[in-house]
Structure 1
């Protein structure tokens, strides 16, 4: 399988999922600063994903899967022994709920504006305002819990990546102690630490 990624982007969640499953992939770095965006082998990335966004996963049979939550669920299904997703219907709905929440309420709803250098100050202020309620919600959920669900899942990999972005913009999360404890707990997992170290190294090398 080929994973099209950019260092420390949301695609890192898929790398984490692979490592949690004891698997790997052919990791193809996308230069998102180039115009047009290009894969490290020279391919114009828009031929892989017209939206120009990572991650994209090319499966062993050639299918191109886009959108982070879909890719994460595919990896969990592809490697069921890793138990990265529930198998019962109610558990699956809970997983999808959290993947949707992370993707829409945090990733898009908060961090897109905060991470984009061309976002207006008004947009950034609104995003920070929205972040308070959303992180309070997550903090209340995580109080007394180790993971988002009853066991570790791909949703935790995705949320960790988002929480790592908070560091990049020096977002103060001290009002959310359960969130901070959770971030430290997830980062201590060997698969997460390995993925983070690799991608941080790639990010620094390109900076």
Structure 2
């Protein structure tokens, strides 16, 4: 069954592409301009998700799956790659879910949603940025003696956190004081499949002229 990801370059749906690439999961990509909601193939994202948001998966029968956390969990469940997929029976499964939820609530919606929101005042954005150090400290401690967020191999949770670091500098966040976190960031963004997708997304972002992320 063909699965299509509605994808706006550099947005959170890039994390879904990371999961598909690292897990060797086939995935069709339908590019769109998130600023206009226009799909490159024609039509509007609103026709697929009335909220006009990504991440969205569309299946051959026309049904959809929304919310980045759910999309990441679904895609990783399709992987047959040893060491990548975590099943609910695995000891690490709910730890993976925990860190996906952390990325979604504490980093993505808590911070990015505000600092990339044009209508938010500079004062509000700065106050939200002040939340980052506490979250970075938590991650830094967790990563002190481990290479990945969960277990000893890359997971969907790492895909979500890797996406956060694609845009953290654009959000004017500074994780440089957290050595374990910086080492983790550099490892994840240097993974060949992830680095290739980031570069191709940057090119596609310029081609679509989205202009939704400062400094891209």
Decide: shared fold, TM above 0.5.
Answer: yes
| Superposed displacement of residue 62, structure 1 | 3.9
| Superposed displacement of residue 133, structure 1 | 0.7
Q: d(CA) in 1 for partners of 2:168 and 2:136?
A: 11
Q: Normalization by structure 2: what TM-score?
A: 0.88
| Superposed displacement of residue 60, structure 1 | 4.4
Q: Is the 2:20–2:26 contact (alpha carbons within 8 Å) kept by the matching residues of 1?
A: yes
For residues 33-48 of structure 1, what are the structure 2 equivalents within 5 Å?
33-34=35-36, 37-48=37-48
Q: d(CA) in 2 for partners of 1:199 and 1:185?
A: 19
1:29 aligns with 2:31: yes
Q: Is the 1:139–1:178 contact (alpha carbons within 8 Å) kept by the matching residues of 2?
A: yes
| Equivalent residue, structure 2, for 1:135 | 136
| Superposed displacement of residue 57, structure 1 | 0.7
Deviations 1:52-74 (A, max 9, x none): 11110113454311011111111
Instruction: Tell me which stretches of 4 or more aligned residues in structure 1 moved more than 4 Å.
Output: none
| Equivalent residue, structure 1, for 2:147 | 146
Higher normalized helix content (fraction of residues): 1
Q: How many residues align?
A: 205
| Superposed displacement of residue 158, structure 1 | 0.6
| Equivalent residue, structure 2, for 1:121 | 122
| Superposed displacement of residue 137, structure 1 | 0.7
Q: d(CA) in 2 for partners of 1:108 and 1:84?
A: 26
Unaligned runs of 5+ in 2: 210-216
Taking only aligned residues, the RMSD between alpha carbons, in angstroms, comes to 1.6
Unaligned runs of 5+ in 1: none
Deviations 1:104-158 (A, max 9, x none): 0000011111122221123212211111111111111111211100121011011
1:187 aligns with 2:207: no
For residues 71-150 of structure 1, what are the structure 2 equivalents within 5 Å?
71-87=71-87, 88-150=89-151
| Superposed displacement of residue 94, structure 1 | 0.7
| Superposed displacement of residue 204, structure 1 | 2.4
Q: Secondary structure at the match of 1:90?
A: coil
Q: Normalization by structure 1: what TM-score?
A: 0.92
Q: d(CA) in 1 for partners of 2:129 and 2:135?
A: 10
